């Protein structure tokens, strides 16, 4: 899975890409859509490199590409990342190699491409592609267990959890990119001691720390993906915050699952980190020996060997009071995607197992990624023990659930011995008062 694009000695002619700790060294090369801030330019696809963006529309016009690379770049220049995704893994790998060669030190294309750089600080980011469908999974077993204990102390995990990747269909229209601001949702909820429910602003607003998976070429209706195809097909990952109205959720979710509690906002990071960039951070996957082992359609030697992805995750908060005082974000919890109970390939294979057709740019949420320790909860529902134990923030404020003005930032980082670390960029959302 590793090739010359992953070499730890590889450097870029873009100076900021060589800075220690950057999210976007030349070993990353994530894709996103942007325009220059304040302009009405059509969106086009760019590549994050250091603190710059290589504008692929201008890069194509600058020349110096092979005929094959020109064909890969053409839909990107038009802002159509979905059309590129539809070309499958060979195009994804080939373009990565071409971009790596063009951006590395000593590249013959440096002089032509240098004017094609746009500072990230001068860009307005959009959703990285057109998202046709969104499905949220529940692969975080530590989250599922902790939340289950709040409601079913003697039976936290339902019988199907260790057999099948659980998911529900979400709402595409309210997905926004980092920087999203949304109104506190309203809904119907019922206090345990109340005779009747009430309608009003959510009182138990929460975040959920997740990763998003983008589908690549997908599959035709009626033609399921097997594990080998599912592994080859997924395009890349982003950070994803699945905002949740816990009081609304508790009242409405039976018998058909989440509805108004989940459809008001979902925030993702603007850059898709491709699966090739994640190759150095793949890890073995296995269910505990005492647990049910995956059924054959969810199992493969490759998935056991390297189906997991080690992504170190953090949740950070900045309250309105902190912002007014000039204070930055404070960390609430940390966890790792390697602890997920199901892999990315298993999510795609199961989603398509009944013949469901996944399409280029479809988004799958991983479910909340909590760690095994109580302080590693990926939501306030866990960290506050269902609202019973408030968290004390550095400035003395407390939180059981989110208040108006709170901003939540998700952070993702991959590091491994012998590899250059990569990151995911920002994923920030802010709660505004209800209308």
Task: For 101, list phi and psi in degrees, rounded to 5.
Answer: -65, -35
Contact 236, 273 (CB under 8 A): yes
Binding residue per annotation — 138? Answer: yes
Binding residue per annotation — 249? Answer: yes
Looking only at the bridges linking them, the beta strands covering 167-169 and 205-206 are unpaired
Please give the helix or strand (H or E) that residue 135 lies within, else none: strand 134-137
What's the CA dihedral at 35, 41, 42, 43 to 10 degrees?
A: 0
Contact 142, 350 (CB under 8 A): no
Binding residue per annotation — 210? Answer: yes
The CA–CA distances, whole Å, from 180 to 135, 200, 241, 407, 427 equal: 20, 22, 11, 10, 9
Active-site residue, from 6, 142, 143, 351: 143
| Sequential DSSP letters for 280-320 | GGEE-----TTSPPPPGGG--HHHHHH-EE--EEEEEEE-H
Binding residue per annotation — 368? Answer: yes
Binding residue per annotation — 262? Answer: yes
Binding residue per annotation — 208? Answer: yes
Cα–Cα distance measured from residue 316 to residue 230, given in angstroms and rounded to the nearest whole number:
33
Cα–Cα distance measured from residue 75 to residue 55, given in angstroms and rounded to the nearest whole number:
13
Contact 197, 177 (CB under 8 A): no
Cα–Cα distance measured from residue 7 to residue 418, given in angstroms and rounded to the nearest whole number:
9
Binding residue per annotation — 266? Answer: yes
CA 417 to chain CA mean position, Å: 24
Nearest to 201, CA basis, from 399, 378, 402: 402
- Number of helical (H) and strand (E) elements in the chain, helices listed first: 12, 27
Catalytic, 143? Answer: yes
Binding residue per annotation — 57? Answer: no
Binding residues for Ca(2+): 136, 208, 210, 242
Binding residues for Mg(2+): 242, 262, 266
Which residues are marked as active site? 143
Binding residues for substrate: 138, 152, 249, 253, 368
Binding residues: 136, 138, 152, 208, 210, 242, 249, 253, 262, 266, 368
């Amino acid at each position: 899975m590793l090739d010359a694009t992953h070499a730890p000695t590889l450097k870029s002619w873009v100076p900021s890409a060589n800075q220690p700790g950057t999210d976007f060294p030349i070993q990353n090369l994530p894709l996103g859509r942007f325009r220059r801030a304040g302009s009405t330019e059509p969106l086009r696809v760019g590549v994050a490199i250091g603190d710059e963006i290589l504008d692929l529309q201008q890069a194509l016009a600058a020349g110096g590409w092979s005929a094959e690379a020109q064909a890969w770049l053409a839909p990107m220049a038009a802002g159509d990342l979905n059309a590129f995704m539809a070309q499958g893994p060979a195009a994804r790998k080939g373009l990565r190699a071409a971009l790596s060669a063009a951006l590395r030190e000593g590249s013959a294309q440096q002089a032509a491409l240098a004017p094609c750089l746009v500072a990230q600080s001068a860009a307005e980011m959009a959703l990285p592609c057109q998202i046709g469908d969104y499905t949220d999974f529940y692969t975080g077993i530590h989250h599922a267990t902790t939340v289950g204990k709040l409601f079913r102390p003697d039976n936290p995990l339902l019988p199907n959890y260790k057999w099948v990747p659980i998911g529900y269909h979400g709402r595409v229209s309210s997905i926004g990119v980092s920087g999203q601001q949304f109104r506190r949702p309203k809904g119907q909820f019922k206090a345990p001691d109340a005779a009747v429910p009430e309608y009003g602003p959510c009182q138990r607003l929460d975040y959920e720390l997740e990763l998003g998976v983008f589908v690549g070429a997908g599959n035709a209706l009626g033609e399921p993906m097997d594990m080998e195809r599912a592994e080859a097909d997924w395009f890349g990952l982003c950070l994803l915050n699945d905002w949740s109205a816990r009081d609304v959720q508790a009242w409405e979710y039976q018998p058909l699952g989440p509805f108004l509690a989940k459809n008001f906002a979902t925030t993702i990071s603007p850059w898709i980190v491709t699966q090739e960039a994640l190759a150095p951070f793949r890890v073995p996957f296995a269910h505990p020996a005492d647990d049910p082992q995956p059924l054959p359609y969810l199992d493969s030697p490759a998935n056991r060997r390297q189906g997991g992805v080690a992504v170190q995750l953090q949740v950070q908060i900045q309250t309105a009071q902190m912002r007014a005082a000039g204070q930055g974000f404070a960390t609430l919890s940390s966890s790792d995607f390697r602890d997920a109970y199901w892999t990315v390939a298993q999510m795609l294979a199961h989603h398509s197992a009944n013949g469901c057709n996944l399409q280029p740019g479809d988004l799958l949420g991983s479910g909340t990624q909590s760690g095994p320790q109580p302080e590693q909860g990926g939501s306030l529902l866990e960290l506050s023990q269902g609202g019973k134990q408030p968290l004390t923030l550095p400035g003395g404020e407390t939180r059981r659930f989110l208040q108006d003005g709170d901003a939540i930032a998700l952070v993702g980082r991959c590091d491994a011995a012998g590899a250059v670390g990569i990151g995911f960029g920002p994923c920030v959302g802010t709660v505004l008062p209800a209308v």
